[in-house]
Structure 1
Amino acid sequence: MSTREASAADEPVIESREQLLAPMISGEKPKSDWRIGTEHEKFVYRRSDRHAPSYDEEGGIRDILMSLTQFGWEPVEENGNVIAMKGDDGTVSLEPAGQLELSGAPLESLHETCNETGRHLAQVKQIGDRFDIGFLGLGMWPDKTREELPVMPKGRYEIMMRHMPRVGNLGLDMMLRTCTIQVNLDYSSEADMVKKFRVGLALQPLATALFANSPFTEGKPNGYLSYRSHIWSDTDPHRTGMLPFVFEDAFGYDRWAEYMLDVPMYFVFRDGNYIDAAGLSFRDFLDGKLEALPGERPTASDWWDHLSTAFPEVRLKSFLEMRGADGGPWSRICALPAFWVGLLYDQGALDAAWDLVKDWSMEERERLRNEVPKLALDTKLPGGGTMQDLGREALKIAHQGLASRGKLNPSGDNETGYLETLDEIVSTGKVPAQRLLDMYHGEWGGDVSRVYKYSF
């Protein structure tokens, strides 16, 4: 989740429709300026007893963050607490229970993205060795209850944790017990955004299947391959889902703004503090009728904040966020951006990917999204075949798209190698969660703690 640092006291209020559309319009870039921004989260645990460290215990989350200063990172504070670190490789921030996230810098190639990931993991592993800390790449805590987990001192999380149980049964699990990999991608125009959004949304169940990596809850199999994905189906129906309106003819920046105006608020940031506005209307805020701030009207920063509080499978701000994948190890952190860049950053690949999904009905898209968390690549496709078959076709297109980009590393390799881990998953039909379950029922003898040997 985004990290807010300051609010501009003299920032003008929003007075026009154009100001609401400005964030999306500002994202338009020529293809030569398209970049790749990769985000990945990981669980933090004490190796000696595998507990999730609190913020302020010795060798805990605050100490881990501050230790990044040795690599040139600079602290970001909220009310005297260090809640993030800024550096050349982006921002290292905290999810609600101390999951550590790298929101990477916007980079030109997957080679740079994978190098960035490697640098970050090397840094945190070095710090982890000092503090007896390990990092686990899964989509959900395999053995922790909510009650066993700490809560980080961030004002927006306090508000969200109060609000989540009012609107869904699993929102606290989303906040406290899950990790994801995401990639943020650019577009050249409104029409380009629309096509990429539609392809990304329709194929998000395939990404969920390929990266499914959350089969355990509180030490036992939970009946799902991506329980993290299932959690989103019972978090908050007002701000999640497959967004049928994206596939309607009138979809564009204006329709997205309308959707966001109907998403209930969480908070307003003022003078370094988060003011609880959970469940209130941004439309009322525009009219100066927000109960939490009577008479005040929103600024552009308030609108940017609000744009970060919707959680559909694909999200639009000044870029498109692909949000369907479970957390995982280094190879899959590199594979997710490779998958989406291959499909969306070459026009021929984008057109071919759209051909794969353009004839599906909204009911069929919803069915795929609902069945994939349990069935992964065995999910049946509209018209016949399985998600595994779709994976073969999509990866073939992604390979072609990456080859067409012609981005080479110093050894002369293009970017297609980052798809190898996904090629292997599709070839075998066995997703990461199924391999973990095979070990749980086999060599692990039902002991889920054995999963910790697969830490970063």
Structure 2
Amino acid sequence: MARDQIDTQHIQSRDELVAWFEAGCKAPSKFRIGTEHEKFPFTLEGHHPVPYEGANGIRALLEGMQALNGWEPILEGSTIIGLADNIGGGAISLEPGGQFELSGAPLMTIHETCAEVNSHLTQVRDVATPLGFGFLGLGMSPKWTLAETPVMPKGRYKIMTNYMPKVGTRGLDMMYRTCTVQVNLDFASEPDMVKKLRVGLALQPVATALFANSPFTEGKPNGFLSYRSEIWRDTDNNRAGMLPFAFEEGMGFERYVDYALDVPMYFIKRGDTYIDVAGSSFRDLLAGRHPAVPGETATVSDWANHLSTIFPEVRLKRYLEMRGADGGPWGNLCALPALWTGLYYDTTSLDAAWDLAKGWTSDERQKLRDDVPRLGFKAEIAGRPMLELAREVVAIARAGLARRDQRDSQGRDETRFLKPVEESLAAGHTPAEALLERFHGAWAGSVEPVFDEDAY
């Protein structure tokens, strides 16, 4: 989850909110790739969750990372809750249950973003191993109950924890027991944003299937391949989902602003203090009549923070966030940005991806999104099996990466980063099915080996 914004400039009109989005438009030569991934810390002995406090806790990890990489601490009061690379633009933050997130810097190529991931995971391991813990890349915590999962000391999470049970049945699971990998990508103009948003929403279930990696809950198979994706179906449907309006005539920044204004707020932040305003209206804040801050109008920070509490399958900020994939093994952390970069940053591929999806109805898109967490490659849309669709999507992405022709120092292009998903497609099963096969076979019905075999 993103770091809270700090920009106290006041906003007083809907037009200024629209202009805020428009300021995200970039020339294609300025397009960047920002990769984010979350992972579960666990004790090497006993495979328990890692608390925040204590000599061998998350705080100690953050302090060790700071000593190693020299990044600036992100503080809430006097409590360290993350680190920021103020030069490169990356950050490390904590999810509610201690999930450790790298929000990568905006970089030019998949080679660079993958090198960043590799460097980060090496650093994390160097600091965490002496503290007695490791990290696991899965979409869902495979072993621990909600009660066993620690709570990180962040004010916004306290407000969300109180609010979630009022609006869905699985919000606390989402917060405390899931991990994702996502990529943030740019748009050139409003029409380019709309096209990319539509392609991203329509094809997000393809990414969910390709990266499905959360088949276990509390030590047992949960009946899903991506339980993380299933959890989102009943977290808070006022702020999640497939955004059917994005496919309607007249879609643009204004339409997204109107959608965001209607999503209930979680909090208003003033200084270090989070004011719980869960369920209230941003429109009231914009008009200067919010009862929590009488007479105050909204700031840029308020708007940016509010947008970060909206969770559709593709989220619009000043870039687009692809939000459909489970956390996974090391190689998959580079495959996810490669997939979407190949689709988005080559116009031929973007056109081909839209041609695949443009004939689908809203109901067909929704059904695919609903079926994929359980069925993976066996889901269908408009009579087409997901496995066949996913193969075509990955081939389109591969062609886009080949045309981009971004080479590393050894002369290799970015297509090699698609290898993990191409192997899944060749085998015809998702990463989750590979885990289940081991669970029912070599692991003899125990999830414990996942902490050894699939740790970073």
TM-score, normalised to structure 2, is: 0.98
CA shift at 1:89, angstroms? 6.1
CA RMSD, 1 decimal: 1.0
Equivalent AA in structure 1 for residue 145 of structure 2: T
Give me the whole-angstrom Cα distance separating, in 2, the residues matched to 1:37 and 1:7. Answer: 22
Equivalent-residue separation in structure 2 for 1:54 and 1:375 (angstroms): 35
1:54 counterpart residue number: 51
- Partners of 2:368 and 2:379 within 8 A in 1: yes
Aligned with 2:28 (options 26, 31, 46) = 31
Which residue is 1:424 aligned to? 423
Deviation, structure 1 residue 451: 1.0
How far apart, CA to CA, are the structure 1 residues paired with 2:48 and 2:73? 25
1:362 pairs with 2:377: no
Q: Within 2, Cα distance between the matches of 1:264 and 1:116?
A: 36
Alpha-carbon spacing, 1:15–1:60, altered in 2? closer, same or farther (3 Å): same
Deviations 1:81-123 (A, max 9, x none): 0011112360011000110000000000000000000000000
Aligned 8 A contact 1:140 1:214 in 2: yes
Give yes or no for contact 1:267–1:276 (8 Å, CA) kept in 2: yes
Q: Match of 2:146?
A: 146
Does the 8 Å CA contact 2:339/2:418 hold for their aligned counterparts? yes
CA contact (8 A) 1:212 1:226 kept: yes
Pairs within 5 Å for 1:187-266:
187-266=187-266
Q: 1:60 to 1:434 in 2, by over 3 A?
A: same
Q: 1:373 matched to which residue of 2?
A: 373
Structure 2, unmatched stretches of 5+, are none
Q: CA deviation at 1:50?
A: 1.4
Q: Name the aligned partner's letter for residue 401 of structure 2.
A: L
SS at match of 2:152: coil
Alignment of 1:52-131 (within 5 A): 52-69=49-66, 70-87=68-85, 88=88, 90-131=90-131
2:443 alignment partner AA: W
Which stretches of structure 1, 4 residues or more, deviate above 3 A after TM superposition?
Answer: 5-8
CA distance in 1 between counterparts of 2:441 and 2:326 reads 23
Q: State the distance in 2 between where 1:195 and 1:5 align.
A: 27
Amino acid aligned to 1:74? E
What is the identity, as a one-letter code, of the residue corresponding to 1:172? L
> What is the distance in 2 between the residues matched to 1:290 and 1:237?
24
Hey, what does 1:390 align to over in structure 2?
389
TM-score norm. by structure 1 comes to 0.98
Answer yes or no: is the 8 Å Cα contact 1:93–1:102 preserved in 2.
Answer: yes
1:157 corresponding residue in structure 2? 157
Secondary structure of 1:249's match? Answer: coil
Indicate the residue corresponding to 1:440 in structure 2.
439
Cα distance in 2 between the residues matched to 1:392 and 1:433: 18
> Displacement of 1:7 after TM fit?
5.6
- For residues 364-406 of structure 1, give each alpha carbon's deviation from its aligned partner in whole angstroms, at most 9, with x where no partner exists: 0000000000000110121x23100001111111111001111
How far apart in 1 are the matches of 2:144 and 2:291? 38
Render the CA deviation track for 1:403-442: whole Å, top value 9, x for unaligned. Answer: 1111000111110000011111111111010011011111
Q: What SS class does the counterpart of residue 12 from structure 2 fall into?
A: coil
Alpha carbons 1:7, 1:269 under 8 Å: kept: no
Q: Distance in 2 between matches of 1:222 and 1:394?
A: 28
| 2:285–2:297 contact (8 Å) kept in structure 1 | yes
**Distance across 2 between alignment mates of 1:217 and 1:140:** 7
CA distance, structure 2, for counterparts of residue 305 and residue 6 of structure 1: 9
5+ long unaligned stretches in structure 1: none
- The letter of the residue matching 2:27 is P
How far, CA to CA, are the matches of 1:281 and 1:141 in structure 2?
33
For residues 266-320 of structure 1, what are the alpha-carbon distances to aligned partners after superposition, in whole Å with 9 as ceiling and x for unaligned? 0001021111010000111122221222222111111111111100000000000
Structure 1 CA distance, aligned partners of 2:45 and 2:365?
Answer: 45
> Could you tell me how far 1:55 is from its partner in structure 2?
0.8
Aligned amino acid, residue 285 of structure 1: L
SS of 1:448's partner is coil
- Following TM superposition, by how much is the alpha carbon of 1:448 offset from its aligned partner in structure 2, in angstroms? 1.1
Contact 1:37-1:105 at 8 Å conserved across structures: yes
Give percent identity, aligned residues only: 54
Count of residues in correspondence between the two structures = 452
Letter in 2 for 1:71: N
Q: Deviations over 1:50-96 (max 9, x none)?
A: 11111112110000001012222221101110011112360011000
